[in-house]
Amino acid sequence: MEINNDILENDEFSEDEVIEDIDSEEIENLKSFDESDITHEEEEIDYSDEYFSELAVKKQYIEELEDSLDSISEIAANSFYQAIQVLGDLAALNERRFYEGSHSRFVAHWSAEVASQLGMSDTDIFEIRTAGLLHDIGKIGYESRMLAKFTAEMTPAELDVYKNHSYVSYQILKQHPNFDNISKIILQHHERLDGSGFPNKLEGKEIIPGAAIIAVVDMFHNLVFKRPKRLLDKTYNAQQYLKSRENRLTNSIEYLNVKSSSLFDTRVVDIFCENARKEWGELIKKTVWRIQLNKVEEGMVIADDYFTRAGLLIAAKGEHITKGMKKMMIRFAEVGEIPKKILVMK
């Protein structure tokens, strides 16, 4: 029941006049009404026309403010995406001679794919994709002669300069607050689990997940698609090129599997190699994979020697896996004598 304080407090009205339009039950309620029942909040509410018009003005003001904020954040978001686009094009231009401009886009696409298959959030996936696109931005301005080489072919002086590129990329991007996480992923994309990477020789969990993903995809693309001098040689025909590409795919998958857990994150290698098998399955014939012992199939070939800690040879490189052998290996793996994942040819 609504009570009008003005009516109750107005001396010009007798109590009987005030209540003449009210039924008997309400009369009882009204008589027992105590002013202290009115809460502090109720006292403060002023329902006058002035109050409502003021409220309408405030509402309109808030709506206008929200609209302005929306357009400001839209402009900021657009300029952020444009900045990524421009920087991405610059990176592609810089690498055109060595990878036909495909490197950064390949790393961005497959790193985001792996991140998504690992169940990472949309924000993480976006940052990893962007970091992939911009990870080598610090190489802009580096000598082409040096960039065409694999690190193993570089002189010590060239290697010093080359090793600086992830830090240079980080320095360029960290200026912008939107690039905070992205620049950190880029800074770490050459770090390796065993601490042999650069620039900060981080180890294991010190390496952030985005960087651990890009490390694998970046290495794979370099191994398969970077064109060493002989591929640029005019006497090198299409057939030889295809054959070499096939070998490179096989060798690169094998390299990632062999270095999985010492240099690269095992889960990332497993997911990426599975994608590679689907994508280039036809080209990747017999190659080495690191797989869980219970997923090993009869007929696969062991690709490494496996000894117990006491030096007993359990399985030798080149041996075909039999049912009995698989059982025995699982038993040794369960007690920690050999790894639970082994290298096999399939």
In this complex, which beta carbon is closest to Fe ion, that of residue 218 or of residue 270?
Answer: 218
Q: In the complex, what is the shortest distance from the CB of residue 142 to Fe ion, in angstroms, rounded to a whole number?
A: 11
Stretch that binds Fe ion, among 86-94, 142-150, 217-225, 310-318 (CB under 5 A): 217-225
**Nearer to Fe ion among residue 127 and residue 218 (C-beta):** 218
Given the rule CB under 5 A, which of 30-38, 218-226, 277-285, 305-313 is the region that contacts Fe ion?
218-226
| Shortest distance, position 237 Cβ to Fe ion, whole Å | 28
Q: Considering only 79-87, 195-203, 212-220, 273-281, which stretch makes contact with Fe ion by CB under 5 A?
A: 212-220
Strands 341-345 and 301-302: antiparallel
The least CB distance from residue 204 to Fe ion, in Å, is 20
336 Cβ contact list (under 8 Å, min separation 6): none
191 in contact with Fe ion (CB under 5 A):
no
The per-residue b/e assignment along 27-57, b for 16 or more CB within 10 angstroms, e otherwise, is eeeeeeeeeeeeeeeeeeeeeeeeeeeeeee
User: Cβ of residue 283: shortest distance to Fe ion, in angstroms?
Assistant: 22
Element (H, E) at 344: strand 341-345
Binders of Fe ion among residues 220 to 249 (CB under 5 A) are none
- Residue 231: count other Cβ atoms within 10 Å of its Cβ: 14
Pick 191 or 218: Cβ nearer Fe ion:
218
Closest to Fe ion by CB, 248 vs 346, is: 248
Least distance (Å) between residue 218 CB and Fe ion: 4
**Binding range to Fe ion, per CB under 5 A, among 3-11, 25-33, 216-224, 255-263:** 216-224
- Measured from the CB atom, the residue of 113 and 218 that comes closer to Fe ion is 218
Minimum Å gap between C-beta 107 and Fe ion is 6
Instruction: Give the separation between CA 259 and CA 51, rounded to whole angstroms.
Output: 72
Of 168 and 338, nearer to Fe ion (C-beta) is 168
- The Cα 213–Cα 110 span in angstroms is 9
Collect contacts of 194-202 with beta carbons under 8 A, ≥24 apart. 194/262, 194/263, 196/263, 197/263, 198/163, 198/166, 199/163, 199/164, 199/166, 199/167
Pick the closer one to Fe ion by CB: 120 or 134: 134
Output the smallest distance, CB 103 to Fe ion, in A: 6
Spacing of C-alpha 68 from chain mean position: 32
Q: Out of 113, 218, 254, 265, point to the residue binding Fe ion (CB under 5 A).
A: 218
Smallest separation, CB 139 to Fe ion (Å): 7
The residue range among 173-181, 211-219, 283-291, 303-311 that interacts with Fe ion, by the rule CB under 5 A, is 211-219
DSSP 3-state assignment of 161? helix
Q: Which is nearer to Fe ion, 189 or 341 (CB)?
A: 189
> What backbone phi and psi angles, to 5 degrees, belong to 153?
-95, -5
Q: Please say which residue, 264 or 306, places its beta carbon nearer to Fe ion.
A: 264
- Please give the single-letter amino acid code of residue 312: L
Strand-pairing partners, residue 288, are 345
Within positions 98 to 137, which residues make up the interface with Fe ion, using CB under 5 A? 136
Size of the site for Fe ion (CB under 5 A): 2
Q: For residue 115, give the nearest of 101, 61, 346, 123 by alpha carbon.
A: 123
Q: Report, in Å, the least distance between residue 275 CB and Fe ion.
A: 18
DSSP 11: T
DSSP H helical segments within the chain, as ranges? 5-9, 15-18, 24-31, 40-44, 49-99, 103-117, 122-134, 144-147, 156-162, 165-173, 180-187, 209-225, 229-232, 238-259, 266-280, 323-334
Q: Which residues bind Fe ion (CB under 5 A)?
A: 136, 218
